[in-house]
Amino acid sequence: MTMERIYLFDTTLRDGQQTPGIDFSVEDKIAISKMLDEFGIDYVEGGYPGANPTDTAFFAAKRTQAAKFVAFGMTKRAGVSAANDPGLAALLQSKTDAICLVAKSWDYHVAVALGCTNEENLQSIRESVQAVTQTGREAMIDCEHFFDGYKANPDYALACARTAYEAGARWVVLCDTNGGTQPEEVRTIVSAVIAAGIPGTSLGIHAHDDTGQAIANSLAAVEAGVRQIQGTLNGIGERCGNANLVTIIPTLALKKTYADRFVTSIDTQRLSDLTRLSHAFDELLNRSPHAQAPYVGSSAFATKAGIHASALLKDPRTYEHVVPESVGNFRKVMVSDQGGKSNFLNALKRIGLDVSKDDPRLDTLISLVKERENQGYAYEGADASFELLARRTLGSIPHFFDIEGFRVMVERRFDANGQLKTVSEAVVRLLIDGHRIMSVAEGDGPVNALDLALRKDLGKFNREIEDLELVDYKVRILNGGTEAITRVLIESMDGDGTRWWTVGVSENIIDASFQALIDSIVYKLMKNRHMAGRLAAE
């Protein structure tokens, strides 16, 4: 039996950015696009160039290597030619492999939102798709409100989809924009679209979760014939969110009803990285991963003591629908923790460390990580700190310098012009090859001052870290009160574009920041010696 290909389209950076409380920076977008690209997603939609400064800057360069990089925007306006439409021009100038155009497919919206005739809307769809294909790039059309539009006027909704397909669109995406369509309706309407002459191999589904059925609707569309699924990491999105790719991907891969018929770009090895991807994304958003998330939640394979735990220990299949390690998770039985080694072995292999599963140092590392995570550390989102911890535990790393201490002062005063000003000054005392060094710097804030002081005078290592840059800084308070435990995540980058995350935890936010800063510098020095990062694994 020939396996059919399902294409995975991620819109985390575009539709996911509509989530209340989420506002991606350019650095966030670069980091997330890299995560998605390395995981194996087919299409990464980055946003709307020209709509805001962040997206315009993000699209100044191509941000993926294997995945197709996609820009989102509107079809041309009625009454303006494709060549003279500024919005379309910004899309065509972006550094992308494909362009996804949103088009009205509900005649009510054409009249109310666009204020043009139905035929003018079809003309805008046709000419916009042709403008994209003439540049040699893939054109896609998101048929907005398609299911509601079909129920109101099936002939016009179909005309919008057919116009896009006949104009050369690689994908015609049927959108349940309001999120209220039911799975059986999705099956029926998708079947009607295919019967009208648009093959399923050119159809996609874009489902919202307003009735909690975005995943069910996406799978119903696949069963009816569509071969592209759009969704987001952890189901983020406006209102109630989008279809959750983190749940859809393992369902397609591990459930026989789909796995026997379909194949995606996510192989077994990549699938085992799913939990890490999901948790790292949440850490980047500065929020706690959802414990009861399907497949990847910390409680997804957790069982309390009792008859369930007893049966689980005899045969895991009694209470597990898939093997936890297949998605990078592990079994947690409250009376006996049964899992974790395979996850660690895979993580260590990624960084170039081959360790036997019987090596007692591995047990030491696992215990240490679990102990530190209990204190508040989060290593899914701090790849560099995990690698340093692993290398210290399993072997050794060079001794570069000692920190004898640091001091940070914050002064709030009026300057010579009478303006209220807050100044931070940091002093760091280091010991390098027996020589004491005291480095002092002022910064915009205490962490910035510490960062500048650390890198201002690192003795013989100073030239090595000239291209080191702190690009992002995130703080999470792990419990309440003025004595709260604080976790700090820092993203760093160097001259060749490599990025890494480090973590620090303390009751003192400055101390937590300092831990993460030190890890970042040590990681950079290790990387320079081909002792850490990708070079070590290649």
pLDDT tens by residue, 446-465? 999 999 998 888 989 999 99
Which comes out higher in pLDDT, residue 228 or 353?
228
CA of 390: how far to CAs of 162, 317, 322, 527, in Å?
55, 32, 29, 15
Model confidence, pTM:
0.80
Looking at every residue in the chain, the average pLDDT score rounds to 91
Backbone dihedral region for residue 506 (phi beyond 0: left; psi -120 to 50: alpha; all else: beta): beta
pLDDT(316) > 90 = no
Q: Phi/psi at 339 (nearest 5 deg)?
A: -130, 180
Least confident range from 99-103, 227-231, 464-468: namely 464-468
Encode pLDDT of 341-377 as tens digits: 777 887 788 788 888 989 999 999 999 998 998 899 9
- Report the C-alpha gap between 53 and 319 in whole angstroms: 49
- Report the C-alpha gap between 450 and 471 in whole angstroms: 15
pLDDT(211) > 50 = yes
Q: Which residues contact 334 (CB under 8 A, 6 or more apart)?
A: 302, 303, 304, 305, 309
pLDDT of residue 310: 53
Given a contact cutoff of 8 angstroms between Cβ atoms, the answer to whether 204 and 229 are in contact is yes
